Chains A and B, each alone.
Chain A
Amino acid sequence: AQTVTQSQPEMSVQEAETVTLSCTYDTSESNYYLFWYKQPPSRQMILVIRQEAYKQQNATENRFSVNFQKAAKSFSLKISDSQLGDTAMYFCAFSLAETSGSRLTFGEGTQLTVNP
């Protein structure tokens, strides 16, 4: 079975600064996907970024980028130029890659607060 661990329950950052959220996972599979989802106070889950395990290049989406270390089973999220709207709960998630019907395994979440 796969597990996902987020060891930082809460983090805070000043507006315009950079913050990194940590995530580690455990799996015996070689082909899988990793995700970061954001859940703001509205509680709508929003996909932030996605990484295929077979790709060595780290995914980036505007101010969001990941540091994917497959051997270390680590998948951290870096948010640059933090904005007040980035305040949310962030969940790291894992799924097997065979089909998109594969279940997601979530971490415990990290509550990020961006301070003005």
Chain B
Amino acid sequence: GAVVSQHPSRVICKSGTSVKIECRSLDFQATTMFWYRQFPKQSLMLMATSNEGSKATYEQGVEKDKFLINHASLTLSTLTVTSAHPEDSSFYICSASDFSTDTQYFGPGTRLTVL
């Protein structure tokens, strides 16, 4: 299947700082990428849909000023957690849509810990 990378895999930061997470589709172009948050032993919660060249669409209850999403190219989307707080600690997963197969492929996830 198609490959999606995510960087970093783990990050620890101090409260009040910002953290950027990158999501890349390595062998296909993705006009649409998605960002999810997952708590332990729970399902994936969609945070936002990232469209190349346009503004992201956020799910209800997700603060767009706190979770900044940029999709500047067909292979890269970034999620920036601004002014992070301990409650933002979670596992963040991205996915990218491959039009040729009509399937979403997932990155390996990023474990964010805010101290």
**Contact surface of A with B, Cβ cutoff 8 Å:** 33, 35, 37, 42-47, 50, 91, 95, 97, 99-101, 103-104, 106-109, 111
Contacts and interface: CB of A to CB of B under 8 A. Distances in A.
Interface in B17-51: 31-32, 34, 38, 41-44, 46, 49, 51
A100 B46 contact: no
Given A45-B95, A91-B44, A100 B109 contact: no
A37 B43 CA distance: 11
A91 B42 CA distance: 10
B103 A50 contact: yes
Contacts of B104: 95, 100, 104
B109 A43 contact: yes
| Residue in A42, A97, A106, A108 whose Cβ sees the most chain B Cβ within 10 Å | A106
B108 A101 contact: no
Interface string B78-115: 00000000000001010101110111111011000000
